[in-house]
Amino acid sequence: MHILITGGTGLLGRQLCKALLTDGHELTVLSRNAASVPVKCGSGVHAITALNEWDSGKTFDAVINLAGEPIVDDRWTAHRKQTLWDSRVSLTKELVRHIVAAEYKPKVLLSGSAVGYYGNRNDVALDERENAGEDFPAQLCKAWEHAASAAEQVGVRVCLLRTGLVLSNNGGLLGSMLLPFKLGLGTRLGDGAQWMSWVHIDDYIEILLRLLRDAQTNGAYNMTAPQPSTNAQFTATLAKVLHRPALLWVPAILLKWAMGERACLLIEGQKVLPSKISAIGYQFQFSNLSDALRNLLCE
């Protein structure tokens, strides 16, 4: 297949491109820096710098939409919220407009979302049937999904990827946590009771490939392992794997003072279960957090 990928130079996109190239697919990546695409995504990967380079006669068999500015990096000013909205919702709307206009339409659109869709639900177990929450991340995800789902009106199969915390040894969450933990400064956040719904990057990529190939799949999928952990459990497990203590904690009030509204990403959470992924028969390689961390950090 010829596949168009947005967000292809990010953590998930780079790993995905590697897997798709191994399978023999032709790839085109949307990136502001076209010269970086072959370096980050693989030799032979094409690059476009704007969606208007997709003219109506160009054929893509599938579109994978992983674009989005990092949500936790900067304080949520009005300007930052608009940037986050534009990089997800506005871009997806533009992408769907090109899908609708294409003479030869892709068969499938796999489009990013996040478990933040559900908002803060404390200890409630959440599958794909639950409604969206009310906070900013939830409403952002809801609008993002709505924009992608519009492609169904022209017969394109749409899968929405409600992604949890992706564990990788090439950056992301673990990349930001490893140094302090290795120094014995591992820290529990708030009371540690908030849920962290995580997924090993190998499982994430395999699930995405399954959704790409399986014409019977559609709608939202929780891209998370079947055994979510609380922040306290995650902290203790990571410290144990690294053979370091983790005795520190940061009060929630301090995180709110330092981070403002976006502190909700650290002190609130979702206990998300991958019900639809299990229903299609996918067998997780890493369902246990300790096994996932040992694979990434010790092997």
Amino acid at position 228, single letter: P
| Contact status, residue 259 vs residue 198, Cβ threshold 8 Å | no
Domain ranges of the chain: 2-164+200-223+274-279
Stretch 123-140: mean pLDDT: 96
Classify domain 2-164+200-223+274-279 by CATH architecture: 3-Layer(aba) Sandwich (3.40)
pTM comes to 0.95
Whether residue 17 is predicted with pLDDT greater than 80 in this model: the reply is yes
CB atoms within 10 A of CB 214: 15
Percent of the chain with pLDDT over 70: 99
Name which of 48-57, 167-176, 282-291 the model is least confident about: 48-57
> In Å, what is the CA distance from 77 to each residue of 38, 71, 72, 258?
34, 12, 12, 14
> What was the pLDDT predicted at 56?
65
pLDDT tens column, 213-241: 999 999 999 999 999 999 999 999 999 99
The one-letter amino acid at 42? G
Left, alpha or beta for 68 (phi > 0: left; psi -120 to 50: alpha)?
A: left
Average pLDDT over residues 30-38: 91
> Residue 122: what residue type?
N
Buried b (16+ CB within 10 A) or exposed e, 124-155: eebebebebbeebbbbbbbbbbebbbbbeeee
Spatial contact of 230 and 172, defined as CB atoms under 8 Å apart: no
Q: Where are the beta strands (DSSP E) in 210-274?
A: 219-223, 229-230, 248-250, 271-272
Residue 230 tokens read as 């609380």
Say which amino acid occupies 211: L
